[in-house]
């Protein structure tokens, strides 16, 4: 049993993530989400040791990421059970799929059916496999229209006009190719969050080398900015 004094320093992260996912899944009690996050610590003592050893800032980012995945998995499972479907029935859009569809969507060419590799291991059947590619494209277009103007612009330049990042940076006056690439990546994340979000990844409690850590707290999508 992991002692409380090991969990207590991260209690503010647990509280923050519990609040965040209770707002997204208001049918799930905040206290139930919180309990699920405490259980993450009890099941991952090795991960906690490993991450705390590399420093507080990096540990915080990694713990935020894992607790958000834990909360998402818990809330989706709770919702599935209460509504009456299996979590295995959930379909998740992945960035490569969205990016393959965006050129046709943003050019309003819904007669074009992009060829997608939808048979990847572990990926649930996509709506397109049941003849619903059009439904996917309509859903992505609706989410795109709800983004803020900067996000819509960078995606339009990239996929409708086929501009590279250097040209996008020049058109949008944002300074550099890297800045354009980062803005594009943020826009794709926001788009995917509007059509269901990313599939949660659940950690195993084994010591893996940490190869890449974000410098900041994992990005929170501000939905209000996109209205």
Please state the pTM of the whole predicted model: 0.50
Distance, CA of 185 to CA of 120 (rounded, Å): 22
pLDDT for the residue 130? 40
- Is the dihedral angle over the CA atoms 59, 13, 19, 69 positive or is it negative? positive
How far is residue 120 CA from its own chain's centroid? 19
- For the residues 36-62, what does the mean pLDDT come to? 92
- Looking at residue 138, its pLDDT comes to 84
Would you say residue 199 has pLDDT above 50?
Answer: yes
Q: Mean of the per-residue pLDDT values for the chain?
A: 78
CB 203 within 8 A of CB 66: yes
- Return the higher-pLDDT residue of 131 and 40: 40
Q: Mean pLDDT across the stretch 51-65?
A: 92
Contact (CB, 8 A) for 102 and 156? no
Mean pLDDT of 150-159: 95
Q: Is residue 118's pLDDT more than 90?
A: no
Task: Give the pLDDT confidence score for residue 175 in this predicted structure.
Answer: 86
What pLDDT is stored for residue 125 in this prediction?
A: 44
Q: Which helix (H) or strand (E) element contains residue 194?
A: helix 177-194
- CA–CA separation, 42 vs 7, rounded Å? 9
Q: With beta carbons less than 8 A apart as the criterion, state whether 56 and 92 touch.
A: no
Give 19's DSSP letter: H
SS3 call for 122: coil
Q: pLDDT digit string (tens) for 79-93?
A: 777 665 554 545 567
């Amino acid at each position: 049993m992991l002692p409380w004094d090991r969990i207590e320093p991260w209690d503010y992260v647990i509280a923050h993530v519990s609040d965040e996912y209770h707002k997204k899944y208001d049918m799930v009690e905040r206290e139930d989400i919180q309990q699920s996050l405490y259980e993450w610590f009890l099941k991952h003592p090795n991960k906690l040791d490993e991450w705390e050893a590399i420093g507080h800032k990096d540990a915080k980012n990694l713990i935020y990421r894992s607790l958000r995945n834990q909360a998402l998995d818990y809330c989706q499972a709770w919702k599935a059970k209460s509504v009456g479907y299996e979590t295995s029935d959930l379909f998740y859009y992945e960035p490569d799929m969205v990016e393959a569809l965006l050129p046709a969507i943003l050019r309003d060419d819904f007669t074009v059916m992009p060829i997608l590799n939808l048979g990847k291991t572990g990926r649930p059947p996509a709506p397109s496999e049941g003849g619903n590619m059009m439904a996917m494209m309509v859903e992505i277009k609706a989410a795109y229209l709800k983004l803020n103007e900067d996000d819509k612009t960078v995606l339009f330049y990239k996929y409708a006009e086929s501009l590279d990042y250097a040209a996008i940076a020049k058109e949008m006056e944002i300074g550099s190719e890297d800045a354009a690439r980062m803005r594009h990546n943020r826009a794709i994340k926001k788009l995917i969050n509007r059509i269901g979000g990313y599939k949660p990844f659940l950690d195993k409690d084994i010591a893996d080398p940490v190869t890449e850590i974000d410098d900041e707290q994992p990005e929170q999508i501000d939905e209000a900015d996109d209205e």
